[in-house]
């Protein structure tokens, strides 16, 4: 994949991540480079143009994904929805009137996390105020 023109954007982002680490005086270990890359970088790998190149390996990232949903398009759609919600939150957009409802967006994100490791869902539930807050404060 290195040098493949189809991955020019991703290669540029990896180079940018390495440069940031270097400017901060940090060693560009694989773990640090991975952490430096934005969610959009990872989501972009699920675009249709990469189906024949990386999908077979990328689907292994979601070992608990039900077989019926283990399709590039379904995973890409779920990741796009997560990214859209994240962007709305970080841009301070109103979330209360989302369609579908905010809990549906939240549930999709939690579902994707569960595809990676169901134990993460149990851990996150301890810190996640949305379901209880929505149940008591949702618009009527």
For 40-66, the pLDDT digits (tens) are 999 999 999 999 999 999 999 999 999
**What is the percent of the chain where pLDDT is above 90?**
81
Structural domain contains residue 101? yes
- Domain range for 107 is 63-137
How many angstroms separate the CA atoms of 40 and 43, rounded? Answer: 5
Identify the pLDDT of residue 134.
Answer: 87
Question: What CA–CA distance (Å, rounded) separates 89 from 105?
Answer: 12
* Predicted local confidence at residue 137, as pLDDT: 81
How many angstroms separate the CA atoms of 22 and 29, rounded?
A: 11
* Cα–Cα distance list, 63 to 46, 106, 112 (Å): 16, 20, 11
pTM of the entire structure? 0.84
- The answer to the question of residue 32 being in a domain is no
Does 98 reside within a domain? yes
The confidence band for 6, taking pLDDT boundaries of 50, 70 and 90, is confident
- Residue 56 included in any domain: no
The answer to whether residue 108 is domain-embedded is yes
Indicate the number of domains in the chain: 1
């Amino acid at each position: 994949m290195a040098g493949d023109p189809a991955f020019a954007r991703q290669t540029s982002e990896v180079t940018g991540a390495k440069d940031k680490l270097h400017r901060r005086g940090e060693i560009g270990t694989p773990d640090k480079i991975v952490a430096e890359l934005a969610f959009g970088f990872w989501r972009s790998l699920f675009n249709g143009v990469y189906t024949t190149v990386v999908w077979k390996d990328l689907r292994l990232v979601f070992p608990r994904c039900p077989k019926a949903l283990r399709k590039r398009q379904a995973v890409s759609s779920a990741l796009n929805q997560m990214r859209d919600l994240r962007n709305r939150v970080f841009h301070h957009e109103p979330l209360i009137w989302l369609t579908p409802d905010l809990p549906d967006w939240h549930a999709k994100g939690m579902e994707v996390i569960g595809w990676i490791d169901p134990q993460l869902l149990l851990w996150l539930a301890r810190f996640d105020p949305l379901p209880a807050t929505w149940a008591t404060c949702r618009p009527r």
